[in-house]
Amino acid sequence: MTSNHSSTHTTNSGWTLGLLPAPELPARIVEKIRDRLTERLSTQVASDKDWHVETLTDPMVGTDEDANDIMDEAERFKQEHGWTYVVCITDLPLFHGGKPLAASASHSRGIGILSQPALGASPMAKRVEEAITQLVSELHFGSTKEGRDAFCDYHGKTRRWQKGAARRLVKRRLSEWVAPYARLDLSEEDADLDVRFVARFKFTGYFKLVGGMVRANRPWTIFPAFRRVGAAAFATGAYGMIFPSMWRLADSYEPWRFLTLMLLSMIAMVLWIVVDHGLWEPIRHRDAFSNAKLYNLATFSTLGIGVLFYYLFLMLLFFITAYLFVPSAVMGQTLGHAIGTLEFGALGWLATSLATVGGALGSGLESDETVRSATYGYRQQLRQKRLQEQRDGNNDDNQSDNDNYEDPDDPEDDDGQAERDQADREDNHEDTSKHESKSDDKHDDKTDETDETDETDETEQNQAHRERADHGTNKGLRPDANQRRDND
pLDDT in tens, 63-122: 666 777 888 888 889 999 999 999 999 888 888 888 999 999 998 899 999 999 999 887
In the predicted model, what is the mean pLDDT of residues 242-268?
A: 92
Lowest mean pLDDT among 9-13, 162-166, 215-219: 9-13
pLDDT at 471 over 70: no
In the predicted model, what is the mean pLDDT of residues 370-374?
A: 73
Tell me the one-letter amino acid at 212: G
On whether residue 442 sits in a domain, the answer given is: no
Considering only CA atoms, which of 375, 373, 201, 221 is closest in space to residue 298?
375
Structural contact between residues 33 and 125, judged by C-beta atoms closer than 8 angstroms: yes
Confidence of residue 138 (pLDDT cuts 50, 70, 90): very high
pLDDT at 488 over 70: no
Q: What does the alpha-carbon distance between residue 137 and residue 183 come to, in Å, rounded to a whole number?
A: 15
Q: At which of 353, 388, 423 does a domain end?
A: 388
3-class secondary structure, 90: strand
188 and 307, same domain (yes or no): no
In the predicted model, what is the mean pLDDT of residues 241-250?
A: 90
Q: What does the alpha-carbon distance between residue 400 and residue 38 come to, in Å, rounded to a whole number?
A: 42
pLDDT at 450 over 80: no
Task: Find the radius of gyration of the CA atoms of the chain.
Answer: 43
3-class secondary structure, 481: helix
165 and 251, same domain (yes or no): no
On whether residue 430 sits in a domain, the answer given is: no
pLDDT at 453 over 50: no
On whether residue 343 sits in a domain, the answer given is: yes
Task: Output the domain CATH number for residue 72.
Answer: 3.40.390.10
Tell me the one-letter amino acid at 390: Q
Q: What does the alpha-carbon distance between residue 29 and residue 353 come to, in Å, rounded to a whole number?
A: 37
Task: Report pLDDT for 269.
Answer: 87
Task: Report pLDDT for 413.
Answer: 46
Residue 191 belongs to what domain range?
2-208
Specify burial of residue 161 (Cβ count, 10 A radius: 0-12, 13-18, 19+): exposed
Structural contact between residues 166 and 130, judged by C-beta atoms closer than 8 angstroms: no
In the predicted model, what is the mean pLDDT of residues 465-482?
A: 43
Confidence of residue 253 (pLDDT cuts 50, 70, 90): very high
Q: How many residues does the chain have?
A: 488
Q: What does the alpha-carbon distance between residue 156 and residue 308 come to, in Å, rounded to a whole number?
A: 50
Give the total number of structural domains in the chain. 2
187 and 257, same domain (yes or no): no
Considering only CA atoms, which of 170, 128, 144 is closest in space to residue 37?
128
The CB-side HSE value for 196 (13 A sphere, CA atoms) comes to: 19
Could you tell me the maximum CA-CA distance found in the chain, to the nearest angstrom?
Answer: 164
pLDDT at 384 over 80: no
On whether residue 463 sits in a domain, the answer given is: no
